[in-house]
Amino acid sequence: MAEVSRCGLVALVGAPNVGKSTLMNALVGHKVGIVSPKANTTRVVVRGVRQEGTAQLVFVDTPGLNTSTKAFDRQLVQQARGSLADADVVALVIDATRGFDAQAKALAESFAAKPDMQVYVLVINKMDKLTPRSKVLELMTAAQAYGCFTEVFAVSATKGGGVDDIAPALAKLLPEGPWLFAPDQATDMPLPLRLAEVTREKVMLNLHEEVPYAVGVVTTLLADDEAPVLVQQTLLLARDAHKPLVLGKGGGMLKRIGSAAREEMQTLLGKGVRLELQVEVKPRWLEQQNLLAEMGVLNMDTGDGDA
Ligand SMILES: Nc1nc2c(ncn2[C@@H]2O[C@H](COP(=O)(O)OP(=O)(O)OP(=O)(O)O)[C@@H](O)[C@H]2O)c(=O)[nH]1
Ligand SMILES: [Mg+2]
């Protein structure tokens, strides 16, 4: 007898920096979401697809939930909460070394208050950093006490340990239904946005303190019928004072960002890329809805973030 097809959304939620995007990339087997050591790297809700037997798991990586009151950060949190509400399975990701910190605790308590509303699982990530490893037992006991987690996984998203157990277990929890994506599609993120995110990751990795958070990246031209593929992007800066830092001495910083981004774009596209970056100071870009939508921070279809 043929097995039924299953398909569902698995939202990865949690505090900033716990490794949600790294985990999603490991689960999908492709780099679809950007990663950096800095908190609040993800600004865009990214979907990544994985086939597991007859099931299609659609992972939804979300911006880390934080308690910032800044309008821009609130929009990110709203996006993350929207994805959480739509999901068939909610995977709370925690950092093993931080355990149930205030953010994770608040989420776990909210799940425990409505245990039948969705299926909840817990992913204890960064196990490679936990010493002694036996400390995980305390976390497992704490998880059990919430009474809402159907499964608990202890993994290392960077080293790979335990990650392979997640998809088969989650596949069984998904509802029956037709697949939403073509089997070879890793993400539904539009290519111009995906390429802008590649550059933003290099911005996050190379610039420091408040500067990278005030930079937005927009792809203004993508000519993929040309060889090499031509990509033009604009880095939007919120402050004039950031310009010398983003450009660097003799333009060196921008060159470094550009060449790292170009290299990754070539790997992604499997073709040569010519990347042209320009920098524009646009003090209010963080409030401009059209720019935010272009960067995927706002979902135009649902009008999210209008508040
Ligand atoms: N040691 C170790 N580091 C990890 C692991 N998973 C992720 N990291 C690192 O943790 C940092 C944050 O990873 P991200 O995947 O960007 O975290 P995130 O939860 O998506 O963060 P936000 O998007 O800011 O909410 C990066 O430096 C990762 O390399 C892990 O299993 N072990
Ligand atoms: Mg992330």
CA distance 18 to 126: 8
Q: Is 212 in the pocket of ligand 1 (CB under 6 A)?
A: no
Q: Is 31 in the pocket of ligand 1 (CB under 6 A)?
A: no
- Nearest-atom index, ligand 1, CA of 93: 19
Q: What is the mean pLDDT of the segment spanning 213-228?
A: 95
Q: How confident is the model at residue 305 (pLDDT cuts 50, 70, 90)?
A: very low
pLDDT in tens, 101-124: 998 999 999 999 998 889 999 999
Domains and CATH numbers, the chain: 6-171 (3.40.50.300), 191-294 (3.30.300.20)
- Nearest-atom index, ligand 1, CA of 35: 16
Neighbours of 130 (CB within 10 A): 19
CA distance 203 to 212: 6
What is the CA(257)–ligand 1 centre distance, in A? 20
CA distance 198 to 202: 7
Amino acid of residue 194: R
Using CB atoms within 10 Å of the CB of residue 121, give its burial: 0 to 12 exposed, 13 to 18 middle, 19+ buried: buried
Q: What is the mean pLDDT of the segment spanning 56-81?
A: 86
More confident of the two residues 291 and 162: 162
CA distance 194 to 201: 11
Q: Is 132 in the pocket of ligand 1 (CB under 6 A)?
A: no
CA distance 197 to 219: 9
What is the CA(190)–ligand 1 centre distance, in A? 24
pLDDT at 78: 83
Q: Is the pLDDT of residue 162 over 50?
A: yes
Sign (positive or negative) of CA dihedral 152, 157, 162, 165: positive
Ligand minimally distant from the alpha carbon of residue 65: 1
pLDDT at 56: 97
Q: Is 18 in the pocket of ligand 1 (CB under 6 A)?
A: yes
